[in-house]
């Protein structure tokens, strides 16, 4: 994971162990001998220094964000443009296998079906057993190798890295009582926004006491005792998976599509399939505010349908302007507010104005409306 957040460690000035009961994560308490006490700085360094390159295990995710749960059957349930949104609703189970930077496999278990994303060297495969379809991409030779999982599901390590990258003086960092995750004793690193405005109450990252590998992440909304989002291993092995796990051949009768890819200079993510050109006049997203009160503005047209004849993409509708997939789902979740529509979740609000501009952040509607006026 990225280590940019390490620059913040010297500024942390909080107790090594907080008083019992303060911002304790909801993961079950540990059994057996307790881990040696560590300060928040020491736990952050433990994460940064871990060297685990291989693992296999089962991940479970649960979300109580207030979004309607998507059906797991029906003509659109397995569509690529719905996959990322489906992961935000309801419970999900997946198997993950990693072996160095070149080999990764994620198996998302659906009811009576399975979705696979496999990275083996320069080969990238996506397969859905529900309709026996596969997509393949040959990654460019210039692609830098890095530790990441293909597809829409991330590991707790990757998610923890994204959250830790936000660390600054607007966040209090503490260490709660030890927890047990996947049968392993773990430190409970708790990040608490100091802001009284943000919707986010706290983040708990469980860190393997032996290896420093993040084992789970929980996000709580302000004023709620139960996590709005939980993502953690339920079992885990740090041994290298069998090499055959990363080999894939489409089953007989499978429909296979070749995906063109664009080379990306940043090593933080895999090359992605080509997408339709951006709308004319579109500009880059802008950010107002700081820390956990930041508001992201997307330009008008970011969620609009593409020009006639252009292929549909995950955040746009069909070429005739009819919303489909994720766009249709967002339409259903939005409620009317003055000047536009609001998609409200426990952790994030998204304001879609009538003029097409979009404002999003972990802040109340009033903050989004204020950013829109500014």
Domains of the chain: 4-237 (2.50.20.10), 286-373 (no CATH)
Where b means 16+ CB within 10 Å and e means fewer, 234-273 reads eebebebbeeebbebeeeeeeeeeeeebeeeeeeeebbee
List, in sequence order, the alpha helices (H) in 144-204. 156-164
Give the Cα separation of 38 and 36 in Å (integer): 6
Q: What pLDDT does residue 32 have?
A: 57
The reported pLDDT for the residue numbered 98 is 94
Task: Return the pLDDT at 271.
Answer: 41
Measured between alpha carbons, how far is 330 from 258 in angstroms, rounded to an integer? 29
Which pLDDT does position 276 carry in this prediction?
Answer: 40
Give residue 284's pLDDT.
Answer: 78
Tokens in use for 70? 């998507």
What was the pLDDT predicted at 372?
Answer: 93
Prediction pTM value: 0.75
Strand (E) positions, 14-91? 54-63
One pLDDT digit (tens) per residue for the chain, 374 residues: 445 544 444 433 332 222 222 333 334 344 456 899 999 999 999 999 888 889 999 999 888 876 655 444 333 334 444 443 454 556 789 999 999 989 999 998 877 788 999 999 999 999 999 999 999 999 886 555 555 666 556 789 988 988 888 788 889 999 999 999 999 999 999 999 999 999 999 999 999 999 999 999 999 999 888 999 999 999 999 999 999 999 999 999 999 999 887 654 443 344 444 444 444 445 678 999 888 999 999 888 766 544 443 333 333 333 334 444 455 556 677 899 999 999 888 998 999 999 989 999 999 999 999 999 97
- Number of other residues whose CB lies within 10 A of the CB of residue 179: 26
d(CA 114, CA 132): 10
CB atoms within 10 A of CB 214: 28
Distance between CA 118 and CA 187 in Å, rounded? 31
How many whole angstroms separate alpha carbon 318 and alpha carbon 333?
Answer: 19
Predicted pLDDT at 281: 47
Structure confidence at residue 34 (pLDDT): 84
3-state secondary structure of 250: coil
DSSP letter, residue 245: G
């Amino acid at each position: 994971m990225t280590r940019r957040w390490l620059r913040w460690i010297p500024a942390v000035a909080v107790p090594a162990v907080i008083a019992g009961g303060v911002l304790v994560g909801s993961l079950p308490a540990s059994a057996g001998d307790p881990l040696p006490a560590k300060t928040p700085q020491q736990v952050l360094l433990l994460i940064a220094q871990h060297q685990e390159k291989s693992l296999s295990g089962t991940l479970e995710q649960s979300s109580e964000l207030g979004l309607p749960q998507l059906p797991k059957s029906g003509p659109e349930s397995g569509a690529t443009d719905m996959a990322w949104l489906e992961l935000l609703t309801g419970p999900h189970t997946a198997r993950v296998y990693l072996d160095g930077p070149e080999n990764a496999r994620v198996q998302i278990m659906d009811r009576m079906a399975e979705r696979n994303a496999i990275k083996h060297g320069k080969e990238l495969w996506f397969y859905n057993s529900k309709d026996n379809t596969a997509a393949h991409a040959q990654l460019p030779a210039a692609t830098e190798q890095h530790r990441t999982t293909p597809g829409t599901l991330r590991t707790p390590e990757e998610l923890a890295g994204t959250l830790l990258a936000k660390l600054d003086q607007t966040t209090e960092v503490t260490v709660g009582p030890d927890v047990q995750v996947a049968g392993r004793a773990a430190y409970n690193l708790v990040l608490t926004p100091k802001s009284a405005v943000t919707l986010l109450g706290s983040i708990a990252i469980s860190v393997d006491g032996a290896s420093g590998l993040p084992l789970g992440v929980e996000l709580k909304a302000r004023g709620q005792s139960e996590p709005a989002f939980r993502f953690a291993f339920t079992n885990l092995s740090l041994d290298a998976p069998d090499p055959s796990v990363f080999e894939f051949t489409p089953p007989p009768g499978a429909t296979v599509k070749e995906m063109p890819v664009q080379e990306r200079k940043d090593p933080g993510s895999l090359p992605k399939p080509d997408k339709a050109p951006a709308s004319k006049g579109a500009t880059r997203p802008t950010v107002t505010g700081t820390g956990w009160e930041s508001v992201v503005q997307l330009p008008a047209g970011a969620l609009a349908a593409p020009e006639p004849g252009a292929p549909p993409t995950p955040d746009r509708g069909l070429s005739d302007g009819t919303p489909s997939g994720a766009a249709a789902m967002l339409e259903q979740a939005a409620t009317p507010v003055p000047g536009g529509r609001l998609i409200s979740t426990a952790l994030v609000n998204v304001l879609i104005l009538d003029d097409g501009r979009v404002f999003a952040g972990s802040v109340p509607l009033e903050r989004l409306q204020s950013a829109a006026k500014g």
